[in-house]
Structure 1
Amino acid sequence: MTARRKAAGVVVLGFVPLAVVGLTSVPAVAHGSMTDPVSRVAACYAEGPEQPQSAACKAAVAAGGTQPFYDWNEVNLPDAAGNSRQVIPDGKLCSAGRDKYKGLDLARADWPSTKLNAGNRTFRYKATAPHRGSFELYITKDGYDPAEPLKWSDLEDTPFLKVTDPKLVNGDYVFDGIVPNKSGRHLIYSIWQRSDSPEAFYTCSDVVFGQDNGAPAGAAPTASAPTNEQVADGADKSSVDHTGHEGGATHPAAPAAAEPADEGDEYAGEEGNDPVVTNADAVVAQPTASQDNLAETGSDSNTPIYTIGGAAALALGAAIMFGTTRRKAVSTGGRHSR
């Protein structure tokens, strides 16, 4: 091989690491669940999927197995695109219409619940993979019967709280709102619609205002949210990888503290930024200076260029290596033939 050919091979092959980085730098898909007031799926996970304590969680595990509760932060639809009412049928709101989570749709008045009062309240939503998006919180109408399957018509027509890109504090989205005046047992339904993807996430949180007249005394235990230790310990039992697809937990879906996928994965909900909250019409947050170059996937706007360029360099490098090796083999074979 001539020195010129060697140099060409080294120059091209020098781009291979860049190609590999570009091809493997895939942003994480959002995951999470409401933890205050705690959702059904998070409350049952906190009890322990293998040995749940409450009658409702035991029934939910019996209906769908333990795996849905290890995957507590994945009650989602990948292509909702703001059409939740059209794609989720009545009676299946808590499972987002997914058979995997059918145990969450059980109509009963003894789900673990959170005590609630009307007025100002802070809400928390565990974000195991944060991304930009908006939250809508609905509450059930007066006369709601928890012993009947939850229908869209059971919810108030408009959300009592909307927030776009809330702040992230210790792995939780934190935002404030005004809880409507209700009495007895109700349910808060949340929709987290990503703005950088058609994916949406859903939660059902059972709440009780004042005296719970919807169930016998002691039948509705107080719900607890998963601790950070439980979140971390359960990650290796999740069947959801960090790209949001089922098939193993090589990349844990639930780290103890939420972090962006890479340096370019910034969002308006960074600590220190104020969320946009309204109890009336939705308000869209204006991009911050750090978002000007934010790609829709949450990565740097140059990521696609690097990925394409890296792939091309990798292919070219492989071609040159193959060609060079072939020429060397032919040359060697020629000398042996002599």
Structure 2
Amino acid sequence: MDKKRKLAAVIGAGLAPVLALTLPTGSAGAHGYVNAPASRQAQCAARTVPCGAIKYEPQSVEGRKGLRSCSGGNGRFAELDDDSKGWKVSDVSRTQTFTWTFTARHRTSNYEYFVDGTKVATVDGGNQQPPATVSHQVNLGNFTGRHKILAVWNIGDTANAFYACIDVNIR
């Protein structure tokens, strides 16, 4: 009987690393991104633009609050900061609806929208947990032509935010 237990232990120890590497993993505990108009990470997830790891987790562009980069300062997603990557440009109006999709719904301090670094809107989140999707109608001011919009979801119960860039042509 002792031999059988030792054999089972050896087989188990040998299989454990294989199972750990081959079984599916859960998603990160995160989070949210702009899917309409299509943000850069939404384009990666849809395979509209060839991308690295972000195509598997478009909701994970998280960094500390106050950043102004498309990658949220996350080196794994630095390609989102590359303006020459061939991002699809969406035609939008001066008053545009932006829709967020959430995979984990954190309490929300607010949402901020920037056109080429200029803040054009802040939407209060009421420190409440949002529904699975949220849409905001944002006045883009007097901007016209091609621009990059940075949308920021500031979390109410952490020091972090989620970031999404959207390439637009404002008509």
Normalising TM by the smaller chain, what interval?
0.7 to 0.9
Structure 2 unmatched ranges of 5 or more: 1-27
Partner of 1:208: 169
Q: Quick one: which of 57, 76, 80 aligns to 1:104?
A: 80
**Is the contact between residue 67 and residue 73 of structure 2 (CA under 8 Å) also seen in structure 1?**
no
Partner of 1:194: 155
Instruction: Provide the aligned C-alpha RMSD in A.
Output: 2.3
Q: Which SS does the other structure have where 2:58 is aligned? A: coil
Partner of 2:14: none
Q: Cα deviations across residues 114-169 of structure 1 (Å, max 9, x unaligned)?
A: 111113x32211111112211100002xxxxxxxxxxxxxx11xx21111227955
Rounded Cα–Cα distance in structure 2 between residues aligned with 1:173 and 1:135: 11
Rounded Cα–Cα distance in structure 1 between residues aligned with 2:100 and 2:93: 19
Rounded Cα–Cα distance in structure 2 between residues aligned with 1:163 and 1:83: 16
Rounded Cα–Cα distance in structure 2 between residues aligned with 1:198 and 1:42: 24
Partner of 1:172: 133
Rounded Cα–Cα distance in structure 1 between residues aligned with 2:85 and 2:94: 21
Structure 1 unmatched ranges of 5 or more: 1-27, 48-52, 86-92, 141-154, 211-338
Partner of 1:261: none
Q: Quick one: which of 112, 129, 132 aligns to 2:107?
A: 132
Partner of 2:21: none
Q: Report sequence identity in percent.
A: 29
Q: Quick one: which of 35, 57, 64 aligns to 1:71?
A: 57
Deviation for aligned residue 1:29? 4.7
Is the radius of gyration larger for structure 1 or structure 2? 1
**Is the contact between residue 146 and residue 169 of structure 2 (CA under 8 Å) also seen in structure 1?**
yes
Partner of 1:84: 67
Q: Which SS does the other structure have where 1:42 is aligned? A: helix
**Is the contact between residue 30 and residue 129 of structure 1 (CA under 8 Å) also seen in structure 2?**
yes
Partner of 1:301: none
**Is the contact between residue 168 and residue 174 of structure 1 (CA under 8 Å) also seen in structure 2?**
no
Q: Which SS does the other structure have where 2:103 is aligned? A: strand
Partner of 1:116: 92
Partner of 1:310: none
Greater strand content: 2
**Is the contact between residue 135 and residue 191 of structure 1 (CA under 8 Å) also seen in structure 2?**
yes
Rounded Cα–Cα distance in structure 1 between residues aligned with 2:160 and 2:73: 14
**Is the contact between residue 117 and residue 181 of structure 1 (CA under 8 Å) also seen in structure 2?**
no
Aligned residues: 141
Q: Which SS does the other structure have where 1:165 is aligned? A: strand
The runs of 4+ residues in structure 1 deviating greater than 3 Å are 166-169
**Is the contact between residue 150 and residue 163 of structure 2 (CA under 8 Å) also seen in structure 1?**
yes
Q: Which SS does the other structure have where 1:43 is aligned? A: helix
Q: Cα deviations across residues 42-89 of structure 1 (Å, max 9, x unaligned)?
A: 112113xxxxx4xxx23xx2xxx3x22101100002xx2x4436xxxx
TM-score by length of 2: 0.73
- Map 1:173-322 onto structure 2 (within 5 A): 173-210=134-171
Q: Which amino acid aligns with 1:162?
A: T
Rounded Cα–Cα distance in structure 2 between residues aligned with 1:68 and 1:30: 13
Greater helix content: 1
Q: Which amino acid aligns with 2:107?
A: R
